[in-house]
């Protein structure tokens, strides 16, 4: 983590650290956009950071972040969430992500160890994607749907999913009002050597998450109805 932090701190000598962190998220998404990446995609960042040394520091931070994410040989390390909680949660944002051990416990309590491939996992307030990461520890081959009203949280989740080869969708939206602004759809494609993750972006309303969320709510309501029984005197029996 020290290499990652040091690289961002060095870029931030002339910029606020929050601005640098936001821009680093955008830089990371571009680095993962291998399927159609072009030099002009970096133009806005190059205008903001004109020095070659700054570009090298961003690249250094990106490499360090990827190394940390897989430093235990198994992956599923939320580098962004850890950094965010340490540097920004109180002073800047007032956001607090659920600790990873609690996310892991929740996933183990709600999911069986033999959950089927392709099963949908939904988190309408995903933060940096920790609950989705916890679910992926049980089965990486499920389909993961995350959403958040904070675009930077969405970007963190997209990067975390791609680093851990998790397929699905991350939606920048208001999950309560069902207002949608942007989505990142993550898939795998064969590049001639093996299957690697890639993503495409879609605009307002172009999302599968709302439909998936509505289906999840309906399935939950149906399950609750099936569990409830009515006694002989029309009393509602919960057990």
How far apart CA 77 and CA 81 sit, in angstroms, is: 9
Residue 85 lies in a domain: no
Residue 25 lies in a domain: yes
Instruction: Answer yes or no: do 105 and 65 share one domain.
Output: no
Is 91 a domain residue?
no
pTM: 0.86
- In a domain, residue 117? The reply is yes
What lies within 8 Å, CB to CB, of 94 at 6+ separation is none
Q: Is residue 157 a contact partner of residue 132, using CB atoms and an 8 Å limit?
A: yes
Residue 235 lies in a domain: no
Judge whether 42 lies within some domain.
yes
Q: Are residues 105 and 41 in the same domain?
A: no
15/22 Cα distance (integer angstroms): 11
User: Do 220 and 102 share a structural domain?
Assistant: yes
Count how many domains the chain has: 2
- 98 Ramachandran zone, left/alpha/beta (phi>0; psi -120 to 50): beta
- CATH number for the domain that contains residue 137: 3.40.50
Identify whether residues 103 and 187 lie together within a single domain.
yes
User: Same structural domain for residues 62 and 123?
Assistant: no
DSSP lists the bridge partners of residue 229 as 237
Whether 126 contacts 104, CB under 8 Å = no
Residues 124 and 34 in one domain: no
- On whether residue 130 sits in a domain, the answer given is yes
Residues 103 and 57 in one domain: no
The residue segments making up the domain with residue 157 are 98-227
Residues 141 and 192 placed together within one structural domain of the fold? yes
pLDDT in tens, the chain (239 residues): 788 899 999 998 878 899 999 999 999 999 998 888 888 988 999 999 999 999 999 999 999 888 877 665 566 888 888 888 888 876 556 678 899 999 999 999 999 989 999 999 999 999 999 999 999 999 999 999 999 999 999 999 999 999 999 999 999 999 999 999 999 999 998 878 888 889 999 999 999 888 888 887 777 777 777 665 545 455 544 44
């Amino acid at each position: 983590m020290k290499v990652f932090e040091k690289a961002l701190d060095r870029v931030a000598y002339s910029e606020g650290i929050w601005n640098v962190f936001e821009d680093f998220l955008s830089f990371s998404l571009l680095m993962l956009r291998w399927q159609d990446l072009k030099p002009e995609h970096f133009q806005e960042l190059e205008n903001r950071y004109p020095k070659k040394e700054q570009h090298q520091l961003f690249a250094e931070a990106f490499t360090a972040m990827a190394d940390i994410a897989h430093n235990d040989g198994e992956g599923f390390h939320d580098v962004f969430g850890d950094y965010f909680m340490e540097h920004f949660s109180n002073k800047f944002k007032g956001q607090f992500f659920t600790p990873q051990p609690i996310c892991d416990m929740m996933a183990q309590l709600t999911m069986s160890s033999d959950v089927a491939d392709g099963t949908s996992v939904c988190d309408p307030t995903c933060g940096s994607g920790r609950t989705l990461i916890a679910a992926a520890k049980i089965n990486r081959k499920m389909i993961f749907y995350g959403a958040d009203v904070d675009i930077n949280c969405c970007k963190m989740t997209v990067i975390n999913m791609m680093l851990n080869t998790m397929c699905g969708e991350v939606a920048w939206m208001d999950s309560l009002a069902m207002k949608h602004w942007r989505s990142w759809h993550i898939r795998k494609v064969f590049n001639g050597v093996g299957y690697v993750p890639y993503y495409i972006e879609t605009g307002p309303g172009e999302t599968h998450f709302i439909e998936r969320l509505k289906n999840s709510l309906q399935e939950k309501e149906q399950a609750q109805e099936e569990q409830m029984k009515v006694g002989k005197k029309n009393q509602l029996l919960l057990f």
